[in-house]
A and B are shown apart, each in its own frame.
Chain A
Amino acid sequence: MRRARGSGALLLAPVVVALAFLAAWEALVRVGRVAPFVLPSPTAVLASLREVGAQVLAAAGATGLNALVGLVAGTALALLAASLAARVRVLREALVPLAAAAAAIPIVALAPVFATMYGATSELPRRLVVTLVVFVPVFVNALRGLLTVDPVHAELMRSYAASGWATTRWVRLPGALPFVFTGLRLAASAAVISAVVAEYFGGLQTGLGSRITSAAANSAYPRAWAYVVAACALGLLFYAAALALERAATPWRRAGTG
């Protein structure tokens, strides 16, 4: 059913798809005479990106910092909570259902109340939103990792008459790392997304999200799209950084033949 094609074709395919997509978009806007407020052409967006490059970078810096602060704080809290919950059963019973519920509810909607609590002239409300958003996937995955021990490893450690601490140090923690990084990878993208979206709820006009809304409100659509492109680039940057960190911290996972 599946014919093996040259791996070159498979590697090239995403690039071809992207180019075809952009070309079709450009053609649609030009030939179809689509009004720029409906959809600006990629070239118009590119031109606008060049024009306001400095502002775009500044806005990306502001949003990126919010995302980073929230990511670090949320991850630290989540790891702390997960290591406590892995030890204390009551804590686990209390936190796991709450985390599951938090995964289902739109946490960004808390942005306006954080703004009232801390004042709208602060970046803190957005960072708090990011912290909460990040907490959930890191906590859930880290806890799963800490509670998952290969039965053979457990028996082996018992046969060594190893203490609980030795088992944690040599088996449980290294075994949990891949899980933690899975959570962190999810959280890195979620941090940028929530940092951008939190700006839609009002507050300081410093970041990409608020630039997108204000450009749209001024009907400067190519400019708005330029900020969207920057937001996507920021998301990819965070994701790539998380991936790089994961590779550096768990080298054994790519040493394999499979």
Chain B
Amino acid sequence: MNGRWRRAGVVALTVVGLLAAWEGYKAVGPVDGASLGGVRLLPRADDRSMPHVGEVLGALARPEVDAPGSRTVGVAVLTGVLSTLRLALLGGVLGSAVGLALAVLMQRLRLLEAGLLPWVVLSQTVPIIAIAPLITGWGGAVRLGPWAWTPQASVVVIAAFLAFSPVAVGALRGLQSAAPAAVELFRSYAVPWRSQLLHLRLPAARPYLVPALRLAGAQAVVGAIVAEISTGTRGGIGRLVIEYAQQATSSPARVYAAILGAAALGLLVAGLVGLVGAREDRRAAAAVEVAA
């Protein structure tokens, strides 16, 4: 318990230190940065590039536009975060479900694993996210029965795709991690494959799923934000970052407020995944205690 407080204190001090370093650089740093051979190496320290910390927090409380009844920037950021959270979660859950299902199929069918797994693994090494601007056109053009494609759907698809591959790879590895002796035991029971999956392989996969889901969550957030930017989907935090960046001349603190929102979104999703993971950690800790 003592150690926990100590660690929390160290983290708090670090954050304070980083903020102090920011203000310190603002105080002594060159206003127009420092260049060497035409390349600016030190950032500009003016208020436009690096607003005061207080300025950023203050911006949250100021109205978004100069009109009566305008919502504050803080409310706009919060709305954007919630909107993107919805899309990222939808995409993340969808992608994880597909990834898990595919992992189960690949575990069952060796040939499917041989044919698909290399591509799923490789898809993590290439910028799949680059196609985000290209499915913008699907809005209004693609219809699936009565349902017309919306820009939000593009965002969800990108988020889902990015979340899918880590879960597929991690879950497959987990399903295959069941001890050979246990697999043989289940075979000796002559139970259907479904029972083996339910009582042996899925439980064995759990420790592998938590890190996979953590990665999937982070990927879904990045995917949703980038997709919003490149598809021009309004209402989300990604779009807000771009909008506020364009207002940097008049109100430079706003883009920082939006970025804080994006960071908070990432931590929020990580926290949600962490709730699942914490349960797993407790199980693992209990198992260690029993073993000791």
Which A residues contact B (CB, under 8 angstroms)?
A: 1-3, 5, 9-11, 13-14, 16-18, 35, 37-38, 90, 93-95, 97-98, 101, 103-106, 108-110, 112-119, 122, 124, 188-189, 192-193, 196-197, 200-202, 208-209, 212-213, 216, 221, 224-225, 227-228, 231-232, 235-236, 238-239
Contacts and interface: CB of A to CB of B under 8 A. Distances in A.
- Specify which of A94, A113, A232, A235 lies most central, judged by the most chain B CB atoms within 10 Å of its CB: A113
Interface stretch (B61-69, B71-79, B115-123): B115-123
Contact of B115 (A17, A122, A225): A17
Contacts of A16: 115
Interface in B39-63: 39-41, 43-44, 48-50
Contacts, number: 186
Interface of B: 6-7, 10-11, 13-14, 33, 39-41, 43-44, 48-50, 108, 110-111, 114-116, 118-119, 122, 124-127, 129-134, 136-138, 141-142, 187, 193, 214, 217-218, 221-222, 225-226, 229-230, 238, 241-242, 245, 248, 252, 255-256, 258-259, 262-263, 265-267, 269-270
Given A38-B142, A216-B136, 7 more contacts: A18-B119, A90-B10, A93-B10, A110-B259, A113-B259, A189-B126, A235-B127
A119 B48 CA distance: 12
A122 B40 contact: yes
A108 B218 CA distance: 12
Given A104-B218, A109-B225, A113-B255, A201 B242 contact: yes
A13 B111 contact: yes
A248 to B, nearest CB: 19
Nearest to A217: B133
Contacts of A235: 125-127
A109 B241 contact: yes
B257 to A, nearest CB: 11
B114 A106 contact: no
Contacts of B242: 112, 201-202
Contacts of B6: 93
A192 B127 contact: yes
Nearest to A94: B14
B69 to A, nearest CB: 28
A124 B214 CA distance: 30
A14 B119 CA distance: 7
A238 B41 CA distance: 26
A5 B218 CA distance: 38
A106 B134 contact: no
12 contacts: A17-B115, A94-B13, A101-B270, A106-B265, A109-B263, A116-B245, A118-B33, A192-B127, A197-B129, A197-B222, A231-B126, A235-B125
B267 to A, nearest CB: 6
A80 B49 CA distance: 28
B11 to A, nearest CB: 5
Nearest to B48: A116
A106 B129 contact: no
Contacts of A231: 126-127, 130
- Specify which of A116, A208, A228 lies most central, judged by the most chain B CB atoms within 10 Å of its CB: A116
- Specify which of B125, B262, B267, B270 lies most central, judged by the most chain A CB atoms within 10 Å of its CB: B125
B188 to A, nearest CB: 13
B281 to A, nearest CB: 14
B55 to A, nearest CB: 13
Given A37-B137, A109-B241, A197-B226, A116 B49 contact: yes
Given A117-B33, A235-B127, A104 B266 contact: yes
- Specify which of A101, A115, A124, A200 lies most central, judged by the most chain B CB atoms within 10 Å of its CB: A200
- Specify which of A2, A117, A238 lies most central, judged by the most chain B CB atoms within 10 Å of its CB: A117
B229 A201 contact: yes
A2 B245 CA distance: 56
Given A13-B115, A112-B255, A235-B127, A105 B14 contact: no
B138 A38 contact: yes
A212 B110 contact: no
B222 A113 contact: no
Nearest to B112: A13
Contacts of A117: 33, 43-44, 49-50
What are the nearest 5 A-B pairs in CB distance? A104-B270, A112-B245, A105-B266, A117-B43, A13-B115
Contacts of A112: 241-242, 245, 248, 255
A216 B133 contact: yes
